[in-house]
Structures are given as structure tokens and as C-alpha cells.
Amino acid sequence: MTGVPRAVQQHSGEKGPLIAVLQDIQEASGYLPAADLERVAVELGIPISEVYAVATFYSQFRLKPAGKHIVRACDGTSCHVCQATSILKAVQDELGVRDGETTPDGLFTLETVACLGACFLAPVLVVNEDYYGRVTPAKTRDIIRRYR
């Protein structure tokens, strides 16, 4: 368990500290381990179902470890119209994983997102914090290979 009591103590007195506590734990661990979620419920005096409801509602939280590189494929309206489906397929084919999965070597995690806020660059792919706009399936494969 990584810092649950410290995270809870740091946010004590705040109204509704659950999200902040979960953010602290994820920052320390890279994800939200089940044992930590149970401890948070006890420490905050709330049902475990509420902790899981928040942890699964917000896309920022992970319940399992992520890869070293997070690949986000946008499927928002602009990207979708600009063939985002073919970009997602290229990523899936290159990595051998589906949305929400991590490669067996732990190097990549694939996430499909509703919007990356860069519609003028559609279709958009983000690897970690690096944005790539107007990508094609061929460019997508090249981008992924740079991170291997």
C-alpha cells in the first residue's frame, strides 16, 4: 500500500477528499491497487462501492498498471469524420492490443478518448504528452515504432 494514510491525512478537513486522495495514490503507484482502495474506504469512512464508483467513473483513474507509453487515439467528432477508425486499427495492429489493454512487455497502453481538444489537427494521436496531428495509418505505425 502506497501512502494511503498520508494521502488521507493530507486531504483531511477537505470537503469530499476522495478524488484528491485517489489522485495522490495513483501518482505514487501509477494506478489504484485494490488493497489501497479498500484502505481508502476504511480511512475515509465511506463504502467501498463509493470508492470504486468514483475510481471507475473518471477516465483519469486506472485499476491496473499502465504501460510505459500511453497511446491515446481520439475518436471525437472531428477525428471520427477524418477516419479515426483507421488510425485506431493501425495502432491496434501495430501493438497487438485493444482499447484499454497493455502490451505484454508493459511498454504500451492503448486508450480511445472522446476528445483531445485538438480538432483542427484531426485525426489526432497522442503518445504520452506528444501530440501528432493529421496522422494516417502509415504515419501512425511510424510514430509507434519511435517509442519502441
- pLDDT at 8 (0 to 100): 66
Sequence ranges of the domains in the chain: 4-57, 69-146
Q: pLDDT (tens digit, 0 to 9) for every residue of the chain, 148 residues total?
A: 557 766 666 755 455 789 999 999 999 998 999 999 999 999 999 999 999 999 999 878 999 999 999 999 999 999 999 999 999 999 999 999 999 999 999 999 999 999 999 999 999 999 999 999 999 999 999 999 999 9
96 neighbors 144 (Cβ within 8 angstroms): no
- pLDDT at 60 (0 to 100): 85
Instruction: Name the DSSP class of 23.
Output: H
Q: What residues pair up with 70 in beta bridges, in sequence order?
A: 109
88 neighbors 73 (Cβ within 8 angstroms): yes
Tell me the pTM: 0.75
- How far apart, in Å, do the first and last CA atoms of the chain sit? 31
119 neighbors 130 (Cβ within 8 angstroms): no
Longest CA–CA span in the chain (Å) reads 52
Q: Among 112, 113, 110, 117, which residue's Cα sits nearest to residue 133?
A: 117
Tell me how far apart the alpha carbons of residues 41 and 148 are, in angstroms, rounded to a whole number.
Answer: 39
CATH topology of domain 69-146: Glutaredoxin (3.40.30)
